[in-house]
Amino acid sequence: MPTGVAIRDVREQLFGAAERVLLRDGPSALTSRAVTTEAGCAKGVLHRHFADFDAFLAELVLDRIARIDDQAATLRASAGTGTVTDNLTQALTDLFATVAVAIVSLITSRDDLRARLRQARPTGVPVLTDAATAIAAYLTAERELGRIAADADVDTLAPTLIGAAHMLFADRQAAPPEAGAVRKVVTAVIAGAERE
């Protein structure tokens, strides 16, 4: 892009470009040059807005975690409607059908990024931990409504659901799992906890 031409919403343009590179080529291909080339701007644009590339990546991850918060609100609002199995199946599919799986790969592949994220998120793997928290909040709401057993351990069920669903979606090269496969995992994990 020529010097002096303003870019609208630089952060979102760069974040979108990073997501495309990440989804298409994987975490090892994600460089500042790849991002700025994908975004159609000079490399200096990224460095004018972020201290360094790992700062950019940390902001990308935190921005995408904020999107999980929006999904969590939608899931919590669904408590008491439909079935618990259907609600969880949809929530897990929505979460992992996005860039979330690629972001997890990025986090686990970059030590400096993980170190920066530890300052904002001291425990767990960002994205997965946030998603587990959202699922636990939903299951708690359903437990309060009597649709999940009163003695159900939602703090164990939630990360179990996240881990199992993540395994279904983790292969970047394969087609995403069918809804039936996700539903089967949800049904197995919450067996005995869901009330008719």
Tell me the three state secondary structure of residue 148: strand
Per-domain residue ranges for the chain?
1-49, 61-190
Q: What angle do CA 66, 71, 31 make, to 5 degrees?
A: 45
> HSE of 91 in the Cβ direction (CA atoms, 13 Å)?
32
Task: For residue 4, name the pLDDT band (cuts at 50, 70, 90).
Answer: very low
Report the predicted TM-score, pTM, of the whole model to 2 decimal places: 0.85
For residue range 14-35, list pLDDT tens digits in order.
999 999 999 899 899 999 999 9
Q: Is 10 in contact with 49 (CB distance < 8 Å)? A: yes
CATH superfamily of 1-49: Homeodomain-like (1.10.10.60)
CATH entry, 61-190, from 1.10.357, 1.10.287, 1.10.3470, 2.40.160: 1.10.357
Residues 6 or more apart in contact with residue 158 via CB below 8 angstroms: 132, 133, 135, 136, 139
The pLDDT of residue 5: 44
Residue 194, beta-bridge partner list: 148
pLDDT of 76 strictly over 80 = yes
Share of the chain above pLDDT 70, in %: 95
- DSSP letter assigned to residue 117: H
> If you average pLDDT over each of 10-14, 72-76, 104-108, 153-157, which comes out highest?
153-157
The pLDDT of residue 96: 87
